[in-house]
Amino acid sequence: MTETRRRGDNLETTIYNVALNILERDGYDKTTFAQIAREAKTSRSVLYRRWDTVFELVHDAITQQNMQHNWDTVVIDTWSLRGDLIAIGEFFQSHGSHMNDEFIHAAATEFSLGSPTARRIMMQAYRSDLALVNGLVSHAIQRDELQHTPSERVRLLLFEILRYHGILIHELVSQDVVAIVDEIILPAFFAGGRDVK
């Protein structure tokens, strides 16, 4: 009996699931088109028609996974700037995994090599981060907790610190997020920016 090849959305879902399983099980260095094709029971030419690199395929797989969990539509409002920042930090930290750590390492490598895909992905991440934090800044201004809009650099600082920990340290717990917010992020938010008129 011959096995029917998957097509369309079913094949794409299978490819994404297989890529993420290999990434988590074996690491980024062993996540290859050949291995993905073998485990997804498809051909490498199918993969090459859609993706130029394994990095792009893995990025699309993680993006698809995030969309399934509606992570991009998260709304955080704890009625305090400190609470919102801690909630964002804990949310950001808790949705990491070995798989995403592997991808972050790959992205850092690709970025250092000047990969246009890595630069595009980083810009998408910055835009998503800013969209999330801009909402809580607006709430803080409405509650009169902030008298100014922090600079973009400050608004991105929490995410950059958490990514740094994800790449180099890996052992970040809830108390660490609270300390980062209290000792670094809140002082930076209150230090200055563009006055609210």
Q: What is the pLDDT of residues 1-24, one digit of tens each?
A: 444 455 566 899 999 999 999 998
Chain length of the chain: 197
96 by DSSP, 3-state: which?
coil
Please say if the pLDDT value at position 137 is more than 70. yes
Say what the pTM is. Answer: 0.73
pLDDT at 170: 63
Average of pLDDT values for 154-158?
A: 95
CA atoms of 36 and 51, how far apart (whole Å) = 12
pLDDT band for position 197 (cuts 50, 70, 90): low
pLDDT at position 68:
56
Q: Indicate if the pLDDT at residue 55 is higher than 60.
A: yes
CA–CA gap between residue 142 and residue 160 (Å, rounded)? 26
Beta bridge partners of 148: 195
Given this model, what pLDDT does residue 123 score? 86
* Mean pLDDT score of the chain: 84
Q: Residue 72: is its pLDDT beyond 80?
A: no
With residues binned 3-state (H G I as helix, E B as strand, rest as coil), the percentages for the chain, rounded to 5, are: 75, 0, 25
Read off φ and ψ for residue 148, nearest 5 degrees: -150, 165
